[in-house]
Amino acid sequence: MATYVMSDLHGAYDRFEEMLELINFSDDDVLYILGDILDRGPHPIKLLQKIMEMPNVTCLVGNHEMMALGCLEYLFEKDDSSFREETYDMRDLLDLFSLWRENGGMTTKKEFSKISKEEQKEIIDYIKEMSIYEELLIDGQKYLLLHAGLGKYKEGKKITDCSVIDLVETRPDYSKKYMEDSILIVGHTPTQLIEGNPNPGYIYKNNNNIVIDCGAYHGSGRLAALCLESGEEFYAQVIDGFDLLQISEEDSGLDYDIFLLSSASINRKEDTLPHLYIDCGEEKIPISISNNPMLLNLIDNSTIPDLDLLKEWIRKNMDVLLKHWNQEISDREVLNRLFENDV
């Protein structure tokens, strides 16, 4: 039996599946997810439903689940015959929807709207049952698991006296040791953004603080998992310093394998746009994403792309892309054709 922790999956369903395979996760193991399963990435609801089917997984609530909950309840209830709009403060609801949208909530809304009412109710109930924190004892070592941290915690204060906002939204001072006898494990802040972090994008450890959000939804990020018994760290979809998304020949319906690579930059400010390669066997043809406005609409440097849209775009534009690579058509002509073939 092994105990693992992950955090901030943000709809990265494929990375989660890869991580389960990487750690050889079994029915005898236990996994704690420290919040922010929803929003930003392409498949938050699909991911949450996968997790809901796993009895050996415990989910803590993150700020994105808290933000989404009121919006999801409204979306669930508004089509019901018993719905009464006056039960909602519409101004507050509009503010909440605006905040949710600005923070990547539309991927969650899109998938939530496509599932049945019964499934929607199960999603809402599951979020309401999520833990705020968990205390563990592993091989004599105490661990406190939270989403954000103990930003307003003072020595001698009980964890039960902290507000939900303190635990789910307030970022801690990672240079401060909050507890002598317990190790605090949190997510919420991508390690790329921790000031003075010597190894951005990987699990951060300092003064009994462990931060495991490594930016799973970012093009240059990764999903991290930590085994509490061994201390071993695991990272999904990092190959020789690159994140890799592959659309195989069989899956794409094309005669080529397609690879999407993005630089795993050390400094977030230096993130570059992903690079698209088409593997034709004899050579790998690079496609300049920055010169293709329509492709920029599908892929950016902050989110995992919608692979279905990406595949459709490539299907429509493969002939144009190859002709451009072979210098059979001009830059201006290729741009005109790409505009015509927008998905």
Query: What is the per-residue DSSP string for 72-115?
Result: HHHHHHTTSTT--GGGS-HHHHHHHHHHHHHTTTHHHHHHHTTS
Chain position carrying tokens 């972090």: 197
pLDDT at residue number 267: 29
Count Cα atoms within 13 angstroms, Cβ side, for 259. Answer: 17
* CB-CB contact of 10 with 39 (8 Å): yes
* Whole-angstrom distance, CA of residue 164 vs CA of residue 143: 19
pLDDT at residue number 93: 79
- The vertex-37 CA angle with 146 and 161, nearest 5°, equals 25
pLDDT at residue number 192: 87
pLDDT at residue number 332: 56
- Determine the CATH number of domain 3-236: 3.60.21.10
pLDDT at residue number 269: 32
pLDDT at residue number 326: 64
* Whole-angstrom distance, CA of residue 272 vs CA of residue 323: 26
What stretch(es) of the chain map to CATH 3.60.21.10?
3-236
3-state secondary structure of 216: coil
Residues in the chain: 343
pLDDT at residue number 153: 80
* CB-CB contact of 39 with 109 (8 Å): no
pLDDT at residue number 86: 64
pLDDT at residue number 87: 64
* CB-CB contact of 208 with 184 (8 Å): yes
3-state secondary structure of 291: helix
Per-10-residue mean pLDDT of the chain, 343 residues long, equals: 96 91 97 96 93 98 96 86 65 83 86 95 98 97 95 79 89 88 95 89 94 82 94 74 44 51 34 47 51 45 51 67 64 55 45
pLDDT at residue number 271: 37
pLDDT at residue number 42: 81
